[in-house]
Amino acid sequence: MEMSYTNRKHLHLPAALVCINYRTLAAIAVVGSALTIFYYLGLPVNRNVFPPNILEFNRLRNKITKPLSDEAKPQWTWICSNEKCERTTAKENLDLVSLPTCNALCSSAVIWPKPTGQLKLSNTVLPLNFHFTLEISTSPSKEVSEHLQKAFFLFEQDLSKYKKVQKQPDSMYAVYSLLISVSVKGDKDPRLRLNTDESYEIYVAPSKRGDVIEVTVSAKSFCGARHGFETLSQLIWFDPYNDSLLMIDTAVVKDKPSFHYRGLLLDTARNYFPVSDILRTIDAMAATKLNTFHWHAVDTQSFPLKLNSTMKLAKYGAYGSSSVYTRDDVQTIVSHARLRGIRVVIEIDAPGHVGSAWNWGPKEGLGDLAYCIENEPWWKYCGEPPCGQLNPHNPHVLNILENIYTEIIQLTGVDDVFHLGGDEVTQRCWTEHLPECVNKPLCATDDAWIDFVHKAYKALERANGGKAPNLTMVWSSRLTKWPYLKTQRKFAIQFWDLMDSQDMLMLLMKGFRLVLSHAYPLYLDCGFGSWRSDGESHCGNYVKWQDIYNNPPYTPNTLHIVGGEACLWSEQVGPTDLDGRLWPRGAAFGEKMWTHPKLYANESVKLRLDVHRSRLVARGIRAGPIFPRWCSENPYKCI
């Protein structure tokens, strides 16, 4: 795409300033254009001095607006020195530069996660109005076009949050509108699939036609184009000193993810989260380019999923009628996620981790659907109270699961990824109840477990129209160790043990596909002590964002690693502190999975994460700070 700076309205100035002094502004235009030309030719640009368009824009703004009172005058301004923003006292209003603008132009701390391909950003900006236009130049299907239009509306919504603080644009200086042309050449299906190409390219340049910034977004799928919208939104920010929306005026971004599966697990069984919390979590995932919401919907404590096929499970297992997710709720969450390039994977853990939701079988003439429900003392029968395991020999159990699987696939529209659970089955429960183990204290129950998992797999095949999902996942367990590996080839393993585990290396060596969820450093619930009577925490110390970023999601054999997933189990987290537990740590994980950086969390990473955290807060995500505000205002002095 041609990067032309000619034929601009208002003397061709980079900031489209009003023509007050022709000679002065013409000189500024020449300097601004020269800086941009140097940048794209690869010649050195002095980034220690802000480009004239910012300073002139500030001066003009100050001239045409009402003088500020002493109380309202900014206390600080930021100066770019050696590509670092330095805070200094604001002695006068003429050359004030805000921290967001300084970070964008001096440190280029704007895009998270960092693109994996070509990245070129100019150090000049243009002021924007809120007139955004979408043109779909190429689309492979009507459904993709509809999704693009809705995703563009979400892009507008994110930026419209700044309207609450922006003043009405002054008519004495020009502001630019934004024209976005999107081209999708490839996948007709807007859904995220395992083989979806999520790459995208962005070209930004001022138009020859007037006060318009033209953006071209090219992708091979809807999901790629949606990621392009997200990156584009990060090139735009609100400048509090000018009360204006600003945008980097020229950019080239070529980007694609390093891993196909970039997940976040939320457990809604231990504690219930309102639908609004889940939707907000998905919004933050999209801002960080995570693509899989793993919904651990049910567990021993509660079964809040109210499905038509098995309404008794929620009736007996939910905390109450106000703590359930209806089919409409699920569809709302799925639609919300799909427009953001995210799949929803609902896990119904089995045969372990079940509770009173399954305690109605005898009343209905179906026999025992589960054993050991709320047995005491609990620590003899399960890892945490209350206990319960499905009856692996009751055929009604498999029929119920098949109906659940059918409904989940129908609701989510995800038929190529599924999670069967398969976590933490204890032997004691089954040895006391299975006929083959009665009066045999040393009876091994692993064969019953293996048999059940394979029957559940067959039930899933039938639920999915005769074909099992390409990525059918189970948790790592005794069954994913030797000698059971040879019977488990069709499964992908979500591996939660330590990174240096010999079991993981064995799985990779045997060709198993893995999704990595190491308890350290990817369990975000760790570090809050024990809530159980044994007094021990189940997963150790608090995981810092640096721990996540500095521990690479790769091993010597990365061929079979599909991706990774950070997990938030909810024994000690609820709606009041959800956002702070997830973000910005989840964002650090997002860059690890998208960019796959080999470097540690250095100064630049910390600054960019702080900027992204501020962006999340501006969008309504209650992300926790990574250091005191003083450190944000004095970049690099706390690093």
**Alpha-carbon distance 417 to 262, whole Å?**
13
Q: How many CB atoms lie within 10 A of CB 416?
A: 19
Q: Measuring CA to CA, how many Å separate 507 from each of 410, 422, 454, 485, 491?
A: 32, 17, 19, 8, 11
Active site includes 353? yes
Q: Which of 365, 370, 289 is nearest to 563 (CA)?
A: 289
**Alpha-carbon distance 202 to 252, whole Å?**
6
Q: Look up residue 429 and give its amino acid.
A: C
Catalytic residue among 260, 294, 336, 353: 353
Strand 471-475 and strand 417-419: the pairing is parallel
3-state secondary structure of 207: coil
Catalytic residue among 95, 156, 189, 424: 424
CB 226 within 8 A of CB 343: no
Provide φ and ψ at 52, rounded to 5°. -55, -30
Question: 3-state DSSP: the chain helix, strand, coil percent, rounded to 5?
Answer: 35, 20, 45
**Alpha-carbon distance 108 to 43, whole Å?**
17
| Sequence-separated (6 or more) residues with CB below 8 Å from residue 30 | none
**Alpha-carbon distance 225 to 217, whole Å?**
7
CB 275 within 8 A of CB 322: no
CB 346 within 8 A of CB 325: no
Catalytic residue among 249, 255, 299, 591: 299
3-state secondary structure of 575: coil
Q: How many CB atoms lie within 10 A of CB 46?
A: 10
The tokens for 182 are: 């999107």
The tokens for 294 are: 């793993």
Active site includes 612? no
The secondary structure of 340-369, three-state, reads CCCEEEEECCECCCCCHHHCCCHHHCCCCC
- Look at the chain and count its residues: 639
Active site includes 349? no
Helix (H) and strand (E) counts for the chain? 18, 20
The tokens for 133 are: 């236009």
- Beta bridge partner(s), residue 550: none
Q: How many CB atoms lie within 10 A of CB 143?
A: 14
CB-count exposure of residue 243 (10 Å: 0-12, 13-18, 19+): middle
Q: Look up residue 438 and give its amino acid.
A: V
Element (H, E) at 222: helix 222-233
CB 428 within 8 A of CB 404: no
**Alpha-carbon distance 616 to 584, whole Å?**
9
CB 240 within 8 A of CB 205: no
The tokens for 564 are: 């990774």
CB 338 within 8 A of CB 435: no
- Beta bridge partner(s), residue 288: none
CB 489 within 8 A of CB 507: no
CB 379 within 8 A of CB 534: yes
- Which residues does the annotation mark as catalytic? 299, 353, 424
